[in-house]
Amino acid sequence: MIKENVKQILEKLPKDVFLVAAAKTRTIEEILEAIDAGVKIIGENYIQEAINVFEAIGEKVKWHFIGKLQKNKIKKAVKIFDMIETVDSVKLAREIDKRCNEINKIMAVLIEINSGREPQKSGVLPEDAEKLIEEVSDFPNIRVMGLMTMGPFAGNPEDARPYFKETKKIFDKIREIDLPNVEMRYLSMGMTNSYQIAIEEGANIIRIGTKIFGLRDYK
Ligand SMILES: *Cc1c(COP(=O)(O)O)cnc(C)c1O
């Protein structure tokens, strides 16, 4: 099933859109099946889980962190991940920079936008994004490469469109002002039920779990 699911998604994906397989709670076997079918980027939410699958699978794919990053896990995270999609504060960026400096790595990051302005959700508010990006771009071991957003959970995928539109607007504006050390290349939006709409609104990274692996038991 996983193989067919991945093939179905990839067949219809525009060439310039990257698929991240959101692999939380999935087994190594399931993830390997997705990789066999053509998945090239794995997204992980939890560091310990990521370490386990990374040790089994290694560097034949790219690894994106897409969860909420705790300060005490950053040292481990920077060793594994090629990109951290969820930077939403200077504090977090400072720690990523420090830990990357220790291992001589420059980390590609996306700035997470709280496009639904939901108090309990992570991400920087749309109106604070520019200032945060300016501050984060000063860290020598971090490279800002774009934006990521979740948007509020919506039963109807169309309901996600305004949040994707708003995030794309910020993306274009930051690209326009052309900040030093910032390369607005990636816009990560859209999950199983909303990725087609996200692509219409300019996403070039989509993060898909359920449509690849089936329903999750937990988390
Ligand atoms: C789980 C997850 C996804 C994928 O969600 P699905 O609805 O299963 O496709 C995408 N992004 C993030 C940040 C996630 O945690």
Choose one of 6, 46, 63, 66 to mutate for the ligand 1 pocket test, by most ligand atoms within 8 angstroms of C-beta.
Answer: 66
pLDDT tens per residue, range 39-75: 999 999 999 999 999 999 999 999 999 999 999 999 9
Q: Mean per-residue pLDDT for 188-206?
A: 97
Q: How many other β-carbons are positioned within 10 Å of the β-carbon of residue 104?
A: 7
pLDDT the model gives residue 205: 98
Q: Is the CB of 24 under 6 A from ligand 1?
A: yes
pLDDT class of 4 with cuts at 50, 70, 90 = very high
Q: Mean per-residue pLDDT for 11-17?
A: 97
Instruction: For residue 188, tell me if it sits in a domain.
Output: yes
Q: Tell me, what CATH number does 127's domain have?
A: 3.20.20.10
Q: Mean per-residue pLDDT for 182-194?
A: 97
Instruction: For residue 219, tell me if it sits in a domain.
Output: no
Instruction: For residue 173, tell me if it sits in a domain.
Output: yes
Instruction: For residue 112, tell me if it sits in a domain.
Output: yes
Instruction: For residue 56, tell me if it sits in a domain.
Output: yes
Identify the domain containing residue 159 by its residue range.
2-213
90: DSSP letter: H
Q: Is the CB of 121 under 6 A from ligand 1?
A: no
Q: Mean per-residue pLDDT for 124-135?
A: 98
Instruction: For residue 32, tell me if it sits in a domain.
Output: yes
Classify strands 182-189 and 142-149 as parallel, antiparallel or unpaired.
parallel
Burial class of residue 120 (count of CB atoms within 10 Å of its CB; 0-12, 13-18, 19+): exposed
Virtual CA dihedral for 139, 79, 89, 84, nearest 10 degrees? 100
Structural domain total, the chain: 1
Instruction: For residue 218, tell me if it sits in a domain.
Output: no
Q: Is the CB of 209 under 6 A from ligand 1?
A: yes
